[in-house]
A = this chain, B = another copy of it.
């Protein structure tokens, strides 16, 4: 297998030009449906046209550039960002797909999905593209700042346009190049990662309710201490995941709030936000059982009431074995054998992968940083990753 030659300078120049739209320090601020997100999508459509593709911006802001012919590999990612985010998250996958389309001269449809970052809902565009976002649900979407989806869309000029849709009879596979957003590849020795699957997530809000008492005058045995219950729950949660999780399981206690929150008052109410992630649905189910058993005995011992609310309950999505192997061969052909690894964050490939064979390639993130202007990747790694992507696409492309 021979590596596909791409124009690395053109790739880096495209990234630079795109990063000027909504520039914010060293990063970008291109929140979905903002004027800069609209400008970025129009820029992408223009670049598609220059590459010989036929671009369409649809009724939710998805940009699809179709190649001539009846069948194609679908490649891309997104160009919206989190508030004050990095210049590569999403953008790299779109620009690298464009470069592959140009290098291969056909057989590649390029896509830039809308609102991957979830201003209204996570992976909004790929869900709509795959028929997973019913119109009734779309109509109810509201951003954290209270803005309704319809209002936001009205500002773009795209409202009412028909949706572009995944076409399994046309799209033989989907590939997405993305930055890792973690520190694994940077630690080496591999410079590229091939994603085995996108992990499932469980996020729980755990609340304990006790009684506020004077912390000096109330003997320990007479307290109903919601704060102590929260501490014991959080520690038991970390220990349980460490003990029962697999080598790739990760977990986090991201927030704790004690009320009323004074040094001399026994907490009346305590709330924790906890989550765990793993690719394996079996492991997640086993951990569900372990975690389900944690709160009640702790609450009983502390004489408090507990409530456990599921915030996210989502299984992982395995990537397609054929696409994984094509990406591995692409990386090897470029002289950079790839590491197989799960993706701990969600991506559009997670949605598309439920419908057609899909795979993802990871480029290293310096310091593991992302979702901030510190996000970066060495230029030679950007070019290497785009070349490996193009090489894999060449193999996957219909004859």
Q: Measuring CB to CB, which residues of chain A are less than 8 angstroms from any residue of chain B?
A: 180-184, 187, 199, 201, 203, 213-220, 222, 225, 227-228, 230-232, 234-235, 238, 242, 248, 250-258, 261-267, 273-275, 277, 311-312, 343-346, 368, 370-371
Q: A217-B180, A370-B214 are in contact. Are A263 and B258 (CB under 8 A)?
A: no
Q: A227-B253, A256-B227, A258-B254 are in contact. Are A263 and B215 (CB under 8 A)?
A: no
Q: A181-B217, A217-B343 are in contact. Are A252 and B266 (CB under 8 A)?
A: yes
Partner pick for A216 among B232, B264, B266, B277, CB 8 A cutoff = B277
What are 24 A-B residue pairs whose CB atoms fall within 8 Å in the complex? A182-B213, A183-B222, A187-B222, A214-B368, A215-B250, A215-B344, A216-B250, A217-B344, A217-B345, A217-B368, A218-B344, A218-B368, A220-B250, A225-B252, A227-B253, A231-B238, A231-B256, A252-B265, A254-B258, A254-B261, A254-B264, A257-B257, A263-B273, A263-B311
A275 CB, nearest partner CB in chain B, Å: 5
B218 close to A183 (CB less than 8 A): yes
A298 CB, nearest partner CB in chain B, Å: 11
| Bound CA span A155–B312, Å | 56
A259 CB, nearest partner CB in chain B, Å: 9
A372 CB, nearest partner CB in chain B, Å: 9
Closest B residue to A362 using CB positions: B217
- CB-CB under 8 A from A253, the residues of chain B are 227-228, 231, 258, 267
- CB-CB under 8 A from A343, the residues of chain B are 216-217
A212 CB, nearest partner CB in chain B, Å: 9
- CB-CB under 8 A from A215, the residues of chain B are 250-252, 254, 275, 277, 344
- CB-CB under 8 A from A201, the residues of chain B are 216
